[in-house]
């Protein structure tokens, strides 16, 4: 049965599709060996998941969802919490700078209608995710970069800020004594913050935000502002966000791959595992020396996460419970 027809039928069935926090039955379009549909329970809605241990961010998003707010508002608000947290040195204000000492941010956002917006190499503005949302909603474009993105932020009324905190400047100065470039596997158990939410109406949105690789070359752009790599949403199927070494995610168009694998019938967990396998199985892959992690959710609210290295985790807020779940992995720390 085609996906659109299936969803229509599921909605018209006696059980219907879940709204609010009710558990209901619906038919999942999973192709089993004999191509029969498998009956599955929709988990309770709303739900929000995020990369790493970010309970404050998921709590902010869940608060909006619980009040009946929509998924796009929730993911933006959740990401903003981490962008404003100067203790988080991989996102927003307080992020670690590039080799020249400049903090540059990448972010993107995608809604239930397949609209998206992103900012690339944004400086002097904390809330990159909000500028990305404005690009999506209020410009004819999908991506704005560098000075253009910054100028647009000022036009929106954002004020110029110094994003390089004392702590990040100190870390950068220390790094300069050797200037050795090596991807850090898990930056104090943080990296790109990616968030996916399903609101009470069952619609999915996602966002991600990062200061990118610490001490990157000036001008370097990772996966996070690239739709399909750092983030992808298909409201009929599910969503995925990535964290870790962006170059490897870009080379495999990771988030799009995960969503397409779910479309083919894989669970979010299976899809994340397959996408990581694609990276690891590449000829001469140096995967022992870098981290990549994915989290994903499907239309039924099932979630999954997987990473190359241990200590990647997912924060999940559902049914009033905000919990941090250690991800499965390939290599033990
Ligand atoms: N995943 C963040 C980056 O590579 O920039």
Instruction: Annotate 277-302 with DSSP letters as a single string.
Output: HHHHTSTT--GGG--EEEEEEETT--
Domain boundaries, the chain: 25-331
> Are 243 and 122 a contacting pair, CB within 8 Å?
no
Q: How many residues does the chain have?
A: 333
Do you find a cis peptide bond into 46, omega within 30 degrees of 0?
Answer: yes
28 beta partners: 38
Q: What's the predicted TM-score (pTM) here?
A: 0.88
> Which of 246, 248, 255 for mutating ligand 1's site (highest number of atoms within 8 Å of CB)?
246
Residue of the CA atom closest to atom 4 of ligand 1: 246
DSSP, residue by residue, 32-96 = -TT---EEEEEPPS-EEEEESS-HHHHHHHHHHHHTT--HHHHHHHHHHHHHH-TT-TTSSTT--
How far, in Å, from the CA of 96 to the mean position of ligand 1?
12
Task: Starting at the earlier edge strand, list the strands of the sheet with 321-326.
Answer: 143-145, 116-122, 105-110, 204-210, 193-198, 47-51, 313-318, 321-326
CATH code of the domain made up of 25-331 = 3.60.20.30
- Tens-binned pLDDT, residue by residue, of the chain (333 aa): 444 443 333 333 323 333 334 333 343 444 434 444 446 767 899 999 999 999 999 999 999 999 999 999 999 999 999 999 999 999 999 999 999 999 999 999 999 999 999 999 999 999 999 999 999 999 999 999 999 999 999 999 999 999 999 999 999 999 999 887 776 666 555 578 999 999 999 999 999 999 999 999 999 999 999 999 999 999 999 999 999 999 999 999 999 999 999 999 999 999 999 999 999 999 999 999 999 999 999 999 999 999 999 999 999 999 999 999 999 999 998
CA pair distance 50, 78, nearest whole angstrom: 9
Active site residue 43: no
Mutation probe of ligand 1 site: the residue of 122, 183, 210 with most atoms within 8 A of C-beta = 210
């Amino acid at each position: 049965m085609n996906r659109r027809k299936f969803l229509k039928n599921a909605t018209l069935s006696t059980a219907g599709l879940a709204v609010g926090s009710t558990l209901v039955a619906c038919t999942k379009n999973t192709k089993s060996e004999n191509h029969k549909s498998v009956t599955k329970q929709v988990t309770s809605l709303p739900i929000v998941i995020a990369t790493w241990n970010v309970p404050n961010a998921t709590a902010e998003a869940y608060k909006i969802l619980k009040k009946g707010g929509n998924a796009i508002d929730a993911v933006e608000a959740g990401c903003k919490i981490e962008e404003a947290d100067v203790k988080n040195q991989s996102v927003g204000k307080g992020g670690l700078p590039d080799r020249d000492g400049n903090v540059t941010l990448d972010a993107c956002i995608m809604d239930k209608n397949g609209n998206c917006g992103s900012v690339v190499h944004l400086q002097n503005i904390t809330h990159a995710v909000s500028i990305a949302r404005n690009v999506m909603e209020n410009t004819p474009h999908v991506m704005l970069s560098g000075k253009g993105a910054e100028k647009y932020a000022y036009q929106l009324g954002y004020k110029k800020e110094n994003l390089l905190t004392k702590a990040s400047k100190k870390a950068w100065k220390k790094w300069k004594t050797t200037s050795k470039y090596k991807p850090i596997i898990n930056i104090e158990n943080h990296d790109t913050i990616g968030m996916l939410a399903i609101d009470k109406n069952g619609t999915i949105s996602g966002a991600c935000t990062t200061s990118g690789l610490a001490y990157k070359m000036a001008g370097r752009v990772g996966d996070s502002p690239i739709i399909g790599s750092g983030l992808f949403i298909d409201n009929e199927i599910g969503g995925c966000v990535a964290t870790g070494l962006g170059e490897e995610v870009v080379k495999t168009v990771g988030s799009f791959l995960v969503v397409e694998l779910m479309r083919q019938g894989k669970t979010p967990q299976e899809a994340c595992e397959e996408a990581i396998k694609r990276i690891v199985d590449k000829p001469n892959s140096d995967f022992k020396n870098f981290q990549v992690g994915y989290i994903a959710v499907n239309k039924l609210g099932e979630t999954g996460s997987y990473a190359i290295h241990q200590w990647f985790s997912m924060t999940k807020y559902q049914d009033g419970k905000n919990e941090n779940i250690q991800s499965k992995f390939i290599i033990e720390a």
